[in-house]
């Protein structure tokens, strides 16, 4: 939230600050002249204290993660030693399974009349999936959650040029947090939520100027000489070391010109404003070793715009369990055993020998050479013999290696067949299918947990559109793949923003497909049994079957185009929404009309019109001669007689039925009960 004129009332302007110091072009001159405000000075001091607590708390974790990154892909290990890829193998198996499982999103309206907006919202989400590079975002977000236990995503920016929300994955190796937090947002009451947290970033001056949210740029100082204290630089050095690269970040950050960058601390915290006597969640960015504020933003929501994703969460705990937590010790042990086994092979090739010094006088004669003759004093028998070694050691090494591998597989549900490797032991098809089903059960749990963060993602996505997409000004054209090819649909705010926020439903593609398959099979069997019954709406059953099979609405409408009654009923809906009186015709397919009219918002006109259709159904049942076959529940035919005479007879019957019903009529009921004359 931008600073207002009311916020400028108690400013203490710095004597060294000029208009040009605020921004390069002075855009934020008036709004952000409160840099030296007493409240902001207090907030800066609060941030520095919180930073010290968070740093002391998280530093050991960073060191541990750095060691695990080396374990995952250590390019600086001894070139004469061998590494074990257990962590990489198990990690990639679990990660690939979770990443491959698409999580579909569906928006379900809470109010009648929002069905079309809900469909537009789904279409917009599908279009934005590519615009936001969601596939790449998910890869990094999923990777962090799988490796570090919890992945973080910043989601507060909206690109007005491209008209799309902009998510950003946070590097856990630079993130500091409240030690008491169990998650970013906590439970429904906010308990356990993160009170403060942040990260160090590097930005050039041009990047800060172009974003138009930073100020006080004239006070920026060169702090690259202090890069040893930079969290950002240290993290880059750790990652470079794991890749076998030289740590030259102190030199890289000393560049000049347009590429010169500045260390900034982005910090999210709760700030109590003594002037307004309110507490709000804010973002403040500090430069010059956390002494100069260069950005300030307040959030109207009761939560930070940060989303977290976990893989194996533990109740009341932030970190949970990660893949390296389970595999690290086993890989280290396997690596030790592998290198010892390698040395054992070398010993077999170059064994330790015992020789009779009485028979072999010259020790140098034992040095290995081709076609070498060694003089022996006496018989060569017993002159030299290899030292005996315990052969059981080989079996013990093999047993321990297999034991460690099995323990890792059980902990992470990654049997050999799941890794794409044929099992060493012969197994029947039934055993393999049973193992695969149990693996799917374990992975489906992780997929459901993944769905928590995915639901939060799309809720925040909708919220950003709601806050930034202006009415009567903004328009976005989305490309939709229809049954007949591409369609381009222009969307305004009224086309997808609802008065009551929709429910967001996230479901794993694997789980969703399995449910649809089972439900479609059951529905097909039921539809076959029901089709011979009087009055069965086969068209509705076929449409429902298409939805269960995953067909899009436009494809279903091409296969089963709307009937005349469906088209007329939709036209009547438009007139009923305007408050007009709409006459029911005795020749209507009343079941179809009632189904479509029910999609309207509740109103006396809607209920009166539906009641007219119900009365018509009663009359046709009791007087089947008006429309032959109608009383038997068959498709309705034509009126007997000609024109208005037949309609008048039907009206008389409807009037009699309405008069005998004893029902209380609302406004418009009498007119709605009339039957329109046939043409």
pLDDT for 473 equals 85
pLDDT for 679 equals 39
Beta strand segments in 95-219, E: 103-108, 150-159, 164-170, 175-177, 196-204
Mapping DSSP onto H, E and C, the string for 406-468 reads HHHHHHHCCCCCCCCCCCCCCCCHHHHHHHHHHHHHHHHHHHHHHHHHHHHHHHHHHHHHHHH
Residue 607 is inside which H or E element, if any?
helix 604-622
Q: Is residue 104 helix, strand or coil?
A: strand
Q: Residues near 559 by Cβ (< 8 Å), separated by ≥ 6?
A: 546
pLDDT for 411 equals 61
The CA-CA-CA angle for residues 37, 42, 47, to 5°, reads: 125
pLDDT for 253 equals 60
Distance of CA 336 to the CA centre of its chain: 39
Mapping DSSP onto H, E and C, the string for 466-524 reads HHHCCCCCCCEEEEEEECCEEEEEEECHHHHCCCCCCEEEEEEHHHHHHHHHHHHHHHH
CA distances 249 to 221, 256, 291, 589, Å, are: 19, 14, 23, 76
Phi and psi based region of residue 89 (left: phi greater than 0; alpha: psi -120 to 50; beta: remaining): alpha
Tell me which DSSP letter residue 383 carries.
S
Residue 420 burial by Cβ neighbours in a 10 Å radius (0-12, 13-18, 19+):
exposed
CA distances 256 to 246, 253, 260, 292, Å, are: 21, 9, 5, 21
Dist CA 271 CA 603 (whole Å): 47
Beta strand segments in 81-148, E: 103-108
Dist CA 500 CA 121 (whole Å): 14
Dist CA 516 CA 508 (whole Å): 12
- Helix pair angle (538-548, 509-530), 10° resolution: 160
Q: Is-contact 214 244, C-beta < 8 A?
A: no
Dist CA 253 CA 112 (whole Å): 58
Mapping DSSP onto H, E and C, the string for 266-291 reads EEEEEEEECCCCEEEEEEEEEECCCC
Q: Is-contact 672 583, C-beta < 8 A?
A: yes
Closest listed residue to residue 193, CA positions, set 270, 95, 99 = 270
Dist CA 107 CA 103 (whole Å): 13
pLDDT for 104 equals 80
Q: pTM for the complete prediction?
A: 0.71
Residues in the chain: 679
Q: Residues near 65 by Cβ (< 8 Å), separated by ≥ 6?
A: 148, 172, 173
Query: In DSSP terms, which residues pair with 152 in a beta bridge?
Result: 170, 308
Dist CA 90 CA 75 (whole Å): 19
Instruction: Name the stretches of the chain with pLDDT < 70.
Output: 1-39, 224-228, 246-256, 389-401, 403-405, 407-443, 481-485, 508-511, 626-679
């Amino acid at each position: 939230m931008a600073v207002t004129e009311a916020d400028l009332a108690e400013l203490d302007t710095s004597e060294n600050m000029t208009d040009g110091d605020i921004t390069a072009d002075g855009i934020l001159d008036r709004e952000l002249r409160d840099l030296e405000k007493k409240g902001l000075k207090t907030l800066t001091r609060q941030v520095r204290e919180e930073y010290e607590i968070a740093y002391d708390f998280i530093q050991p974790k960073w060191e541990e993660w750095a060691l695990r990154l080396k374990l995952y892909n250590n390019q600086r290990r001894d070139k004469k030693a061998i590494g074990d890829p257990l962590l990489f193998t198990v990690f990639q198996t679990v990660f690939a399974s979770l990443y491959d499982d698409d999580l579909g999103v569906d928006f379900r309206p809470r109010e009648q009349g929002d069905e079309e907006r809900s469909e537009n919202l789904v279409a917009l989400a599908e279009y934005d999936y590519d615009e936001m590079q969601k596939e790449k975002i998910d890869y990094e977000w999923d990777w962090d959650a799988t490796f570090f236990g919890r992945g973080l995503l910043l989601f507060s920016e909206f690109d007005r040029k491209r008209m799309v929300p902009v998510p950003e994955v946070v590097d856990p190796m630079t993130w500091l947090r409240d030690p008491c937090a169990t998650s970013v947002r906590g439970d429904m009451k906010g308990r356990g939520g993160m009170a403060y947290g942040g990260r160090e970033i590097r930005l050039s001056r041009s990047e800060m100027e172009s974003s138009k949210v930073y100020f006080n740029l004239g006070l920026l100082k060169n702090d690259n000489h202090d890069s040893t204290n930079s969290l950002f630089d240290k993290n880059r050095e750790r990652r470079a070391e794991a890749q076998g690269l030289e740590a030259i970040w102190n030199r890289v950050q000393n560049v000049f010109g347009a590429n010169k960058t500045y260390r900034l601390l982005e910090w999210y915290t709760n700030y109590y404003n003594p002037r307004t006597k309110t507490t709000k969640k804010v973002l403040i960015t500090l430069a010059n070793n956390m002494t100069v504020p260069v950005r300030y933003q307040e959030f109207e929501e009761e939560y930070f715009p940060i989303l977290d994703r976990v893989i194996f969460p533990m109740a009341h705990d932030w970190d949970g369990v990660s893949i390296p937590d389970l595999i690290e010790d086993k890989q280290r042990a396997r690596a030790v055993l592998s290198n010892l086994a390698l040395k054992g092979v070398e010993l077999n090739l170059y064994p330790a020998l015992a020789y009779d010094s009485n028979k072999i006088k010259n020790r140098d004669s034992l040095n290995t050479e081709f076609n070498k003759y060694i003089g022996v004093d006496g018989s060569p028998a017993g002159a030299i013999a290899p030292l005996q070694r315990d052969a059981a050691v080989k079996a013990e090494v093999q047993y321990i290696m297999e034991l460690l591998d099995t323990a890792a597989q059980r902990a992470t549900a990654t049997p050999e067949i799941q890794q794409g490797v044929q099992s060493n032991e012969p197994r029947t098809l039934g055993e393999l299918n049973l193992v695969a089903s149990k693996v799917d059960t374990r992975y489906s749990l992780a997929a459901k947990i993944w769905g928590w963060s995915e639901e939060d993602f799309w809720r925040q996505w909708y919220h950003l559109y709601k806050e930034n997409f202006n009415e009567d000004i903004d328009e976005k054209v989305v490309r939709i793949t229809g049954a007949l090819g591409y369609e381009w649909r222009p969307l305004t705010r009224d086309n997808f923003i609802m008065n009551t926020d929709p429910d967001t439903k996230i479901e794993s593609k694997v789980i969703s497909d399995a449910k649809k398959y089972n439900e479609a099979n059951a529905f097909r069997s039921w539809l076959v049994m029901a089709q011979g019954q009087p009055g069965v709406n086969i068209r509705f059953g076929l449409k429902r079957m298409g939805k269960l099979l995953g067909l899009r609405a436009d494809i279903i409408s091409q296969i089963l185009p709307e009937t005349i009654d469906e088209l007329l009923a939709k036209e009547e809906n438009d007139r009923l929404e305007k408050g007009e009186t709409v006459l029911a015709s005795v020749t209507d397919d009343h079941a179809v009309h009632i189904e479509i009219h029910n999609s309207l918002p509740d109103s006396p006109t809607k209920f009166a019109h539906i009641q007219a259709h119900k009365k018509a159904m009663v009359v046709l049942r009791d007087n089947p001669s008006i429309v032959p076959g109608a009383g038997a529940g068959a498709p309705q035919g034509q009126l007997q007689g000609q024109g208005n005479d037949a309609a008048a007879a039907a009206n008389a019957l409807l009037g009699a039925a309405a008069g005998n019903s004893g029902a209380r009529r609302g406004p418009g009921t009498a007119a709605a009960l009339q039957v329109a004359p046939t043409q």
